[in-house]
């Protein structure tokens, strides 16, 4: 009977401790009063301990912090605390960043907010919780790299015959409100609620690292990175976001952060200083989901459309470019000005070209959905044995299934892609072959040969300094390539079209110049 009694004694101090902040030497301890005790080092701002009901969740060789540690990327000017109205605020300041670690009495959640007046010198703004692998062994399977061998760079690995990477833990921002890791009777979850992404960059379909399981269990919120970045970084207040500690179950993404309105956080805009946009849209295809995106140099927002209407609230004042997305492709644009406490309106319509096609492969939605390996590419490397054979592929109009058409074409792997088509007399003459792509790497873009005719080479697409598709994303910059086929090239009967990857660059295997298909249309 002695052992259970001793265990009870170990549990009681954590469970019954009083809410508040105490400082001992270089350690600032923040107690939720409900079982969570967070220790912050006052010299560098690192979180060095996260104890939940007496169980240590923090790895003790690497700690939890912003970027690679604020104390490493800049000089810490101060680490201070204040307690009022059952809210404890720890403020960590450098000359360019003010980071807030906030605890509410009786709630086992670490609320976070970050103000940055410029991007850190390391080029990434991220919150990384480096947690104990033994306490929280279960992360996202595709990001478990322990025991693996590197096959690309220092971030893609092969583990027991399967490819793994921290990049394969990513989820599109529009869907990513909660992600986490768990152990026996405990879970740690990042929550990005409400306006948490407003100062990040990339839009609703951008995705970034959420987890990596190695010697530590790493849990991330990436605010800015160079991982297939398609627009400039923003500065200002990032968040609110939170690290919630639970008994193992995932928390709701609808985290109440309204109490932060009264904390006077640098750069934070309360609900009373925000406005709403309501509007309508028309002209999109009935199949792909509709999203309305808003952006300017200070903020970004999005909302899903339904039944031709939408309402987006909690927007900072300013004038925004509004984009109507059909799937992930921009179908129409507009502009709207937002004022605090008011509702503005905007009406959008699709102006996406919708020709009367002779045939088409895929859906014009800004994604390779339905194509070969599109259902796998977000969570594994193209070389993974679970992938379907990349080809080269010959696709026959009228008999081949869409799922046999490759979602990506690599110069050194599956070049060319061949399309065979039997034309009637009314389908010949001057025509246009349109190829839509969603991203490219190393200048890869299509050039076509139709029977004996070879098109001119299109100019290189805008360069994005990232590996893209081997890192589990197809989201880059949408491009449209129209190839004019002169009269007399197409013939009644059998026709052959070859799509080739061209580029002035080279590379091996899946790091050779490449692009991702959205759709192919002949009209």
Same domain, 395 and 486: yes
Same domain, 516 and 383: yes
pLDDT bin (cut points 50, 70, 90) of residue 70 is: confident
- Please tell me which residue, 121 or 357, carries the higher pLDDT value: 357
CATH of the domain at 419: 2.60.120.260
Same domain, 337 and 376: no
Same domain, 375 and 338: no
What's the mean pLDDT in 494-501? Answer: 98
Statement: residue 15 has pLDDT above 50: no
Q: Which residues contact 406 (CB under 8 A, 6 or more apart)?
A: 371, 372, 373, 390, 391, 393, 414, 417, 517
CATH of the domain at 287: 2.60.40.1120
- Report the number of distinct structural domains present in the chain: 3
What's the mean pLDDT in 37-47? Answer: 96
Q: What is the C-alpha to C-alpha distance for residues 179 and 246, in angstroms, rounded to an integer?
A: 13
Statement: residue 11 has pLDDT above 50: no
Positive or negative: CA dihedral 200, 205, 209, 211 = positive
Q: What is the C-alpha to C-alpha distance for residues 106 and 147, in angstroms, rounded to an integer?
A: 39
From 330, 349, 368, the end of a domain falls on 349
DSSP secondary structure, 429-442, as one string: SSEEEEEEEEEEET
Q: Is residue 104 part of a domain?
A: yes
In tens, the pLDDT along 434-471 reads 999 999 999 999 999 999 999 999 999 999 988 999 99
Q: Is residue 325 part of a domain?
A: yes
Altogether, the residues listed in the chain come to a count of 523
Q: What is the C-alpha to C-alpha distance for residues 22 and 29, in angstroms, rounded to an integer?
A: 5
Q: Is residue 86 part of a domain?
A: yes
CATH of the domain at 231: 2.70.98.10
What's the mean pLDDT in 121-125? Answer: 84
Statement: residue 16 has pLDDT above 80: no
Q: What is the C-alpha to C-alpha distance for residues 112 and 46, in angstroms, rounded to an integer?
A: 13
From 224, 252, 280, the end of a domain falls on 252
Same domain, 328 and 454: no
3-state helix vs strand vs coil in the chain, percent to 5: 10, 45, 45
Same domain, 65 and 163: yes
The reported pLDDT for the residue numbered 5 is 37
Q: Is residue 264 part of a domain?
A: no
Statement: residue 10 has pLDDT above 70: no
Q: Is residue 331 part of a domain?
A: yes
Same domain, 341 and 400: no
Same domain, 199 and 56: yes
Statement: residue 302 has pLDDT above 60: yes
The reported pLDDT for the residue numbered 121 is 80
Same domain, 316 and 422: no
Listed range (64-68, 71-75, 402-406) with the worst mean pLDDT: 71-75
Statement: residue 226 has pLDDT above 90: no
Q: What is the C-alpha to C-alpha distance for residues 94 and 71, in angstroms, rounded to an integer?
A: 9
In tens, the pLDDT along 461-496 reads 999 988 999 999 999 999 999 999 999 999 999 999
Statement: residue 3 has pLDDT above 80: no
For residue 441, give its domain range: 359-522
Statement: residue 183 has pLDDT above 80: yes
In tens, the pLDDT along 103-112 reads 999 999 999 9
Statement: residue 6 has pLDDT above 60: no
Same domain, 343 and 378: no
pLDDT bin (cut points 50, 70, 90) of residue 120 is: confident
Same domain, 421 and 290: no
Q: Is residue 261 part of a domain?
A: no
From 349, 375, 407, the end of a domain falls on 349
The reported pLDDT for the residue numbered 364 is 97
Average predicted confidence (pLDDT) for the chain? 95
β-bridge pairing 125-132 and 275-282: unpaired
Q: Is residue 401 part of a domain?
A: yes
Same domain, 286 and 415: no
Q: What is the C-alpha to C-alpha distance for residues 75 and 69, in angstroms, rounded to an integer?
A: 10
Q: Is residue 218 part of a domain?
A: yes
Alpha carbon distance, N-terminus to C-terminus of the chain: 82
Spatial contact of 381 and 469, defined as CB atoms under 8 Å apart: no
């Amino acid at each position: 009977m002695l052992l259970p009694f001793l265990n009870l004694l170990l549990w009681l101090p954590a469970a019954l401790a009083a809410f508040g902040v105490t400082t001992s030497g270089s350690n600032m301890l923040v107690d939720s009063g409900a079982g969570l005790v967070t220790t912050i080092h006052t010299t560098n701002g690192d979180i060095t301990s996260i104890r939940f009901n007496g169980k240590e969740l923090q790895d003790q060789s690497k700690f939890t912090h912003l970027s690679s540690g604020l104390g490493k990327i800049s000089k810490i000017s101060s680490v201070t605390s204040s307690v009022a109205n059952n809210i404890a605020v720890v403020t960590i300041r450098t000359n360019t960043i003010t980071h807030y670690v906030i605890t509410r009495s009786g709630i086992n959640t670490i609320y976070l907010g970050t103000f940055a007046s410029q991007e850190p010198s390391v080029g990434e703004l991220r919150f990384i919780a480096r947690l104990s692998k033994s306490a929280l062994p279960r992360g996202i399977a595709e990001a478990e790299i322990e025991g693996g061998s590197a096959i690309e760079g220092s971030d893609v690995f092969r583990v027991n015959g399967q490819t793994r990477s921290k990049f394969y833990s990513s989820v599109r921002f529009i869907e990513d409100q909660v992600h986490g890791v768990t152990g026996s009777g405990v879970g740690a979850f990042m929550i990005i609620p409400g306006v948490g992404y407003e100062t990040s960059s990339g839009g609703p379909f951008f995705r970034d690292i959420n987890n990596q399981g190695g010697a530590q269990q790493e849990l991330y919120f990436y605010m800015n990175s160079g991982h297939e970045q398609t627009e400039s970084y923003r500065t200002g207040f990032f968040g609110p976001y939170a690290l919630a500690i639970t008994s193992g179950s995932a928390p709701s993404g609808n985290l109440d952060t309204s109490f932060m309105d009264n904390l006077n956080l640098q750069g934070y805009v309360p609900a009373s200083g925000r406005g709403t946009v309501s509007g309508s849209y028309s002209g999109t295809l009935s199949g792909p989901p509709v999203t309305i995106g808003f952006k300017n140099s200070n903020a970004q927002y999005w909302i899903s459309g339904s039944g031709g209407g939408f309402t987006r609230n909690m927007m900072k004042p300013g004038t925004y470019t509004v984009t109507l997305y059909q799937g992930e492709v921009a179908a129409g644009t507009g502009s709207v000005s937002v004022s605090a406490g008011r509702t503005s309106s905007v009406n959008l319509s699709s102006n996406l070209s919708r020709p009367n096609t002779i045939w088409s492969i895929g859906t014009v939605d800004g994604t390779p959905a339905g194509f070969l390996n599109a259902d796998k590419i977000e969570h594994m490397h193209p070389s993974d044995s679970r992938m379907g054979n990349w080809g080269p592929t010959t696709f026959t109009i009228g008999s081949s299934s869409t799922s046999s058409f490759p979602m990506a074409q690599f110069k050194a792997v599956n070049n060319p892609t061949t399309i065979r088509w039997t034309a009637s007399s009314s389908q010949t003459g001057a025509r246009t072959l349109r190829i839509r792509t969603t991203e490219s790497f190393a200048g890869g873009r299509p050039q076509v040969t139709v029977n004996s005719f070879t098109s001119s080479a299109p100019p290189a697409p805008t360069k994005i300094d990232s590996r893209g598709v081997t890192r589990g994303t197809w989201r880059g910059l949408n491009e449209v390539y129209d190839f004019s086929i002169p009269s007399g090239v197409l013939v009644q009967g059998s026709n052959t079209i070859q799509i080739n990857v061209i580029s002035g660059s080279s590379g091996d295997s899946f790091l050779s110049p490449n692009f991702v298909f959205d759709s192919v249309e002949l009209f």
